[in-house]
Structure 1
């Protein structure tokens, strides 16, 4: 595992924790054995080879001595760089995106998960059709002097991938339609949805299992959960809610995966309450939280959706660290410390969830002109309509909503 530390990049991640995370990613694939990991300082990226010639030679010798079959690069590698490095080192090479796709392919279990992984993999593969393989040089494109070798083959490969992508999108649209039907059925029984989100390996599935009594795979590895899991739970107040466990986020998440897994994360977009689970014992906990918030914003999660921050894994801290953390959390209204493993802090969290969902509601009667179909649809979507009749001037709708929902309605 190589982590290129580009010294000219001011926004680069800390190299130590970044390499540690990359090794954990590799460990998530059972058939891989990581025999070495290094941070490689780089003043700047070399276009054709990524690394400088001296560094390539030095790494090449080390790879030969260790009898390495696969090199993983924790960062983006262009198709040309991949081809050149594979020729130089005589090994197979995968970049960060390729590795994450391999993990997702290994873990996906549901029909939707498998389709989304295939779609992401094809989207990624399509970007690498830049004469990256020797078979592309068998033919000449154009008249032999326009376009250069391999152009015809590249176009044929691209067309085949585009057709496969179109087919997969059709299949995913059907799956999404089924999911919409399930969601519509759930709305008829208006149980609020509470979504667990957070960085991968923050302890979401362990917390999910503790709250629901389910047996979702929960291991100390990255991306232990890929397919969304939902279970009903009863809060201490007696109110029933649906708890949703989601795929973990990660920094530099491949753009193909953000797009392909949008449907998987739709439960987050629809959630009445989001629990942002953080591994508070991790050295990079703050940076991870920033990454999660950035991805949620990219997915289009509304700022109006209430959120509770859950500082998990306090069992890994010393008594002094726990006390200091508790003092810090007590200063903020929506932060709770806990350990999903020991159960410490679970009761306080459940009380907070109850309070957040039992926000004060007021009843109103609205008259909407018949032309305001969008606003009417939004009200039904939110599950706040308690009655409706048709009057001369439009729909007469009785609603029971929170101040937050009323504010959002006025902005539509």
Structure 2
């Protein structure tokens, strides 16, 4: 693809997981020749390794599996930072062709986990429906090409399959993002799909295409934010057709810092920039997010929690902004001086009055750390006025 204004080749801002990690997926497909559920491209064990990583140890390809284009050894990077047991339970759920519902606070990588799972299981993560209040039942089942419909009447050629119907036909994994934002009557379309593993097309009655049956390998992953639980509550019938897995915040500070650094570095690489934010500044940033998210500092001091979820995804966004400032305005100002303003922007997202809670955090945890002699926290304390401008 080229840019029509400059005729220069253009790339993607973000590659789907199956393209971004194509080398690892090809390697793992050759590495583990164990039993695979019908339609799966990798074994369940290889899917877990792909998502949770190989622990920094190189995986060695068996001699009989070595082939041109594949390395003999490869370290599989960790992509989802969380409990490996959660990933294993998700994989087992999909192997049993049960619906999988990933729930948790916003920004806890539910969508990323669903994308990684589908890419590893069936080779594509793009069979996805984004749930909103405007999502219709047709987007979960099928629609029509109205030009063909008017010209020739109902026919298989005129039918436009939904991502779910396409997954059923091909034995793939379909995804429904933010399922609880869909209206209840739209959600209920999934009950029969997950029970009967088929979609009826009454308009094609009397033909072999009147019912589309799921082929082996079809599975469904949905995500739901706990903050949206009351928007469109799922029916008991639909809940019974899913295995629920809760995706929580990253429990370990060092692991969260490493993830924020990795994601920010990747985002800046797309603009040919390097992530030039000092590790100490990044630690201060992530620590502040964790304190405000938990309502308690690492030292055990109480912190007034803002309404906004201080998620890891938000921390990545701020880290990227700091990295861009360091790249495009080098030497203009200390990157640490930008932290209060960015934190204030995040905290005010749900309730502008929550700026007072951030100020309380400064007068509490930040001040106490400054008094204990921590250099960067003392500098942050001196930047308090940035929160009152």
Q: Normalized against structure 1, the TM-score is what?
A: 0.26
User: Whose relative contact order is higher, 1 or 2, with alpha carbons under 8 Å and at least 6 apart?
Assistant: 2
Q: Normalized against structure 2, the TM-score is what?
A: 0.27
Q: Which has the larger radius of gyration?
A: 1
